Each structure stands twice: as structure tokens, then as C-alpha cells.
Amino acid sequence: MSAIDKAKNKAEELAGRAKETAGGATNNEDLKARGQADQGEAKSKQAGENVKDAARNVKDGLTGH
């Protein structure tokens, strides 16, 4: 995973946390839920990128590259 992708995913996760916190502080359940959804989406993207990295590492190990 590139450093840019990692930074984008982390920024999306942090924005989701901020939304969730703001929703909790203002008793806005919709905003809180959107923040949780944003965090979940960012974590899913991170997991997908980690799988790609692992597959690339296995391939490189098998081919010697």
C-alpha cells in the first residue's frame, strides 16, 4: 500500500471519528452513525490494501523479485 493511500485512509477514519464525536456531543444520531460508517469504510479499505500487500509479498517470494 502506498503511503498516500495509507494517509487517505487514516484521514477518512479520523474524519469519521470526528463526525461520531460531534454526533454524540450534539445528540445527533444520524451524524454519529455516518461517522461510524465512515470509520468502517476506511478500515475496510485498509484491510483490502493489506491483503494486496500480502499477496504481492507472497508472489515476490515465490518469484524471487
Domain ranges of the chain: 3-63
pTM over 0.95: no
pLDDT in tens, the chain (65 residues): 578 888 999 999 999 999 999 999 999 999 999 999 999 999 999 998 889 889 988 988 888 76
Angle between helices 29-63 and 3-25 (to 10 degrees): 160
C-alpha cell at position 41:
469504510
Between CA 19 and CA 22 the distance in angstroms is: 5
Residue 42's pLDDT is what? 96
Residue 21's pLDDT is what? 98
Residue 22's pLDDT is what? 98
